[in-house]
Amino acid sequence: MKKMRKLGEKLKYLRKQHNWTQEQLAQHLNISRSQISKWENGELLPDVQSLEKLSNLYEVSIDFLIGKHTTKKELLREMNLLYQTDRIDEKMLDIIDYFKQNPDMEEMIYSLAQLPAKKRKHLETIIITLIQEFSDAVK
């Protein structure tokens, strides 16, 4: 069930990256809007043909869509394509690995990202100061 939700979240994210409504995506795929909704809500998994169409449409691999990556190099390439940047590197993968090992921190950072900008900036300043002071004390 968790994998279905993760796939759904990824599909929703990709759709929004293209500024498409569920209806517009459904038209691209020649399916109903309700099917897109079920995928994004984790109620239904796309079939293989739909995954292939989504892969082509978003220019990512099926492995990327379902959360499987063969190599770090492939993951970096697809993340850079997805986020339209070249700033994602090995450090970013280390951060992702950290979050996989520390899900509570992942939730905290996610919560931080959802805060209004003013509150978020204030907390970011506090966190940066704490990390710098701790790093200096350890040296």
Q: What is the mean pLDDT of residues 66-79?
A: 72
State pTM to two decimals. 0.53
- Other C-beta atoms lying within 10 Å of the C-beta of residue 20: 16
pLDDT digits (tens, 9 = 90+) for 109-135: 989 999 999 999 999 999 999 999 988
Confidence of residue 11 (pLDDT cuts 50, 70, 90): very high
Please, how many CA atoms are within 13 Å of residue 93, restricted to the half-sphere of its CB? 13
pLDDT digits (tens, 9 = 90+) for 36-53: 999 999 999 999 999 999
d(CA 53, CA 49): 6
d(CA 25, CA 19): 10
pLDDT of 74 > 80? The answer is no
**Cβ 60 vs Cβ 84: under 8 Å:** no
**How high is the pLDDT of residue 132?**
92
**Cβ 79 vs Cβ 92: under 8 Å:** yes
**Cβ 42 vs Cβ 4: under 8 Å:** yes
Residue range 1-65 in CATH 1.50.10.10: no
d(CA 111, CA 127): 14
**How high is the pLDDT of residue 34?**
97
| Tokens 């020649």 -> residue | 30
d(CA 78, CA 86): 10
Q: What stretch of H or E contains 84?
A: none
Sorted by where each begins, the domain ranges of the chain are: 1-65
